Structure 1
Amino acid sequence: MEPGLWPLLVFAFFLTHGLSAQEQHAPNITDLTFKNMDFAMDLYRKISTHHDSNIFFSPLSVSTAFTVLLLGTGGATRDQILKGLNLAQLEKDNSGELISELFQHLLTNITQDGTFKLQQATALFVGMDVHVDVAFSTQINQYFGADICNVDFGKPKVATETINEYVGKHTGNKVKEILITTEPLTKLMLINTIFFQGGWELPFNPNNTENARFYVDKYKIVQVPMMFKEDKFYMATDENLKVKVLRLSYLGGTAMLIVLPNRDVDYTEIDEEITAAKILHWNKKMVKVKLEVQLPKFKMEQSYAMQKILPDLGIGNIFQDTANLTRLSMEAGLKVSEVCQTVIEVDERGTTAAAATTVGITAYSLPRTFIVNRPFFFFIYHELTNSLLFMGRVIDPTKK
């Protein structure tokens, strides 16, 4: 992918999020984003137990969807979500509105700078015979600007087209088919979409991109288009964890962290060690150095059956007949029958608005190298709030 542009997106249904606040003070955005990072890593680790390939998802989209859902739950269903998402310490009055307010403030902070493009939308699609509680519909509109749309799930083709059209509209048509079909017995579906697009602050020159080796493991080597940039970048080295960390900034206050294990370290050894505290510590340790950066272009399409993953985090009741969604609707038998998160495209491209700057390199100041030619982790985050927008790992950049 050409440097700097990240389309991303999507979610069908309910996704997750984690947070907690320190007991000494009223919960704030810092508490929210810190615990969301840790939840993201918990979710990542559960996803990674299902396969050993590339992974990519949006913790922010997961968090938003479940926070919307939280407003409609009660009893054990609500307790499981709060605990599973690590939100329990933020919940003070059992109304859920404090958590919703924090998300509202967070999303406002993230989107107030128009230099980069971040679009997020939430919609609840309900069957024609389902009556949604007025208080619930008012709250999700107030805090999330969420839409409630009636859909005839008894006509799967029409329902599918309606939902796909909504998703396409809110993702710049980057996601055109989040659903292939819907089940006639579906009662409700919560959709959260997110689309991010940002140009590199220091764009790569496409003319410098050349095929190079990427070492998937000891036995597999693939050829990938490798981007090249020589400039001053922020980086850090973690000797204990045996990784190097590079920060690539986007225009407008977002950035990507590349976490690259040392050559003699398998990425699976790092899985259990990355935490919110680690990520924030790396950012504080960053120093600006002259670097020769080589980064592969890559695209990904990922889909996860969250109903198979979330029970491992203690969120299982919502998928069963005993689900308590009485604050959403008094309709009997409501439950989440399917949860899927789909990331259709991750595409990094150069932008014409960003001008490349050439930095002269003198003979006595040769640059260090940061060559991403083996499995690595990446995190895209909003710098002001430290909110994690997207994260993933790249095992083989030639695979979507």
Structure 2
Amino acid sequence: MDFSDTVLSKLKGCAANPFHSQIMVIHKAKMAFTFILSCLCFFAPVYQAQPSSPTISDLSFKNLDFAMNLYRKISNYHDKNIFLSPLSISSGFAALLMASDGVTHEEILKGMNLEQLERGDQPELIPRLFQLLHENITQNGSLKLDQSMAMFMRQHFAVEKTFEDKIKRFFDADIKTVDFTDTKGSVRFINEYIKQQTDGKVTEVISNLDPLTHLLLVNTIFFQGAWEMPFNSNLTENAPFYIDNYNIVQVPMMFREDKFYTMEDVPLGARVLKLPYQEGVSMLILLPNKGMDYTVIDDEITAERFQRWVRKLQKIKLEVNMPKFKMEQSYSLQNILPEMGMTSIFSNAANLTRLSKEERLKVSEVLHKAVIEVDEIGTTAAAATTTGIIPYSLPRTFTVNRPFFFFIYHENTNCLLFMGRVIDPTKS
């Protein structure tokens, strides 16, 4: 049995979440949960990689840890709202993994936490896993999750045929030729592509381009989903949201009383609430207890902890109060990823010889932009021990009226699609 058969057989064993046989709502998803982008510009130019053993579950788990590590790096820069798509960023770098060699390849593997999934005798293993993961997430065709990738290349730029074939095969990437010397025309053309791929939700990602750009890699993801149990807009009313001890804002607070899956992480000092969308995707809310500093919780969120939350959820009747919010966040990841060990790819020491034999090729930018809107209808975008996680009789209300974290994930694979932190829901 070859690798593909092994992975696919594991996929067939995934049980559907019983949660999703519940009531289908008539309301159409107004929710634009859109994300976007790893924009990677390259130009200018080291050896080979390392190995191990994988399935889609392994990839999702590794992506979870990469997401938490990246989130912590971003959170170190400010105490504001955060929103990103770890899957989009990971997919972009999985494509770069195929383009790189030597030290650059090893640094990407380590930074993305994928070292244990690499096998020297199966160079297509990781991109194939990403391909299978995407197919699994979108397999029934009813989930609105559109991922796309495009390479915008300078005219007459010589891309290796092997790389071009692989990026088309594993990521279904568009290959487009651009005259980067016409910077205004290039910016307009690329932004229009991104706008179309995200249903108009993400615009103006690029404001300028270096005329010496050789190649721009763009990865987009767009999610649109309706709540399985929508909130009643007639019950939404303004209520206080406590940013900290000194700052209070008024926000439109949604309300619903129903049976929800919830649990409490006692040692962490936080509660968890699951809000399912239709079609196998859910939002997990992590709400720190009153008086608990959310920055302390920042350091404690891990892939193991996330999976433990999901396993320990219990269904009880709750009154849920949840703020409506919109966010649009942009990040220049070339300023952050070197802190995660990815340094050579942004320097003249970059080894991207699998992408092109042209010399002095490097990544100049990694731009990431994410957009989300959450309202009454929806969103417009595992340790074996049970230590410390004690489900017990919870208060019968779950009021999200202070800074909180949220995670949007695909249930069958535990793949993290989006994650964020809301400090002030009135700030976009």
Q: Same fold by TM-score, threshold 0.5 exceeded? A: yes
Unaligned runs of at least 5 residues, structure 2? 1-27, 42-49, 379-393
> What SS does structure 2 have at the residue aligned with 1:121?
strand
Give 1:116 shift.
2.6
Q: Distance in 1 between matches of 2:192 and 2:375?
A: 26
Offset from partner CA, 1:33-75 (integer Å, 9 cap, x none): 0111111000000001111100000010011000011101111
> What SS does structure 1 have at the residue aligned with 2:331?
strand
- Code of the aligned partner of 2:60: T
- Code of the aligned partner of 1:390: F
Partner residue of 1:378 out of 396, 403, 406:
406
- Code of the aligned partner of 1:190: L
CA contact (8 A) 2:51 2:119 kept: no
Q: Distance in 2 between matches of 1:96 and 1:296?
A: 46
> What SS does structure 2 have at the residue aligned with 1:70?
helix
Identity across aligned pairs (percent)? 54
For 1:84, the equivalent position in structure 2 comes to: 111
For 2:301, the equivalent position in structure 1 comes to: 274
Partner residue of 1:9 out of 14, 31, 35:
35
CA contact (8 A) 2:38 2:88 kept: no
Q: Distance in 2 between matches of 1:279 and 1:88?
A: 21
| TM-score between the two structures when normalised by the length of structure 1 | 0.91
> What SS does structure 1 have at the residue aligned with 2:318?
strand
> What SS does structure 1 have at the residue aligned with 2:327?
coil
Partner residue of 2:268 out of 241, 259, 273:
241
> What SS does structure 2 have at the residue aligned with 1:13?
strand
Give 1:115 shift.
2.8
Q: Distance in 2 between matches of 1:94 and 1:56?
A: 37
2:235 equivalent to 1:203: no
Partner residue of 1:158 out of 185, 189, 213:
185
CA contact (8 A) 1:121 1:146 kept: yes
Unaligned runs of at least 5 residues, structure 1? 16-20, 353-365
Q: Distance in 1 between matches of 2:58 and 2:352?
A: 27
CA contact (8 A) 1:115 1:251 kept: no
Give the RMSD, CA atoms, in angstroms: 1.9
Q: Distance in 1 between matches of 2:403 and 2:265?
A: 17
For 1:180, the equivalent position in structure 2 comes to: 207
CA contact (8 A) 2:151 2:218 kept: yes
Give the 3 Å change call, closer, same or farther, for CA 217–96 of structure 1 in structure 2: farther
Offset from partner CA, 1:324-367 (integer Å, 9 cap, x none): 11100111211111111111x21124449xxxxxxxxxxxxx98
For 2:425, the equivalent position in structure 1 comes to: 397
CA contact (8 A) 2:101 2:351 kept: yes
For 2:353, the equivalent position in structure 1 comes to: 326
CA contact (8 A) 1:14 1:339 kept: yes
CA contact (8 A) 2:31 2:226 kept: yes
Q: Distance in 2 between matches of 1:394 and 1:386?
A: 22
Give 1:12 shift.
3.5
After the TM superposition, list the runs of 4 or more consecutive aligned residues in structure 1 that deviate by more than 4 angstroms.
none
| TM-score between the two structures when normalised by the length of structure 2 | 0.85
CA contact (8 A) 1:22 1:31 kept: no
Q: Distance in 2 between matches of 1:3 and 1:136?
A: 38
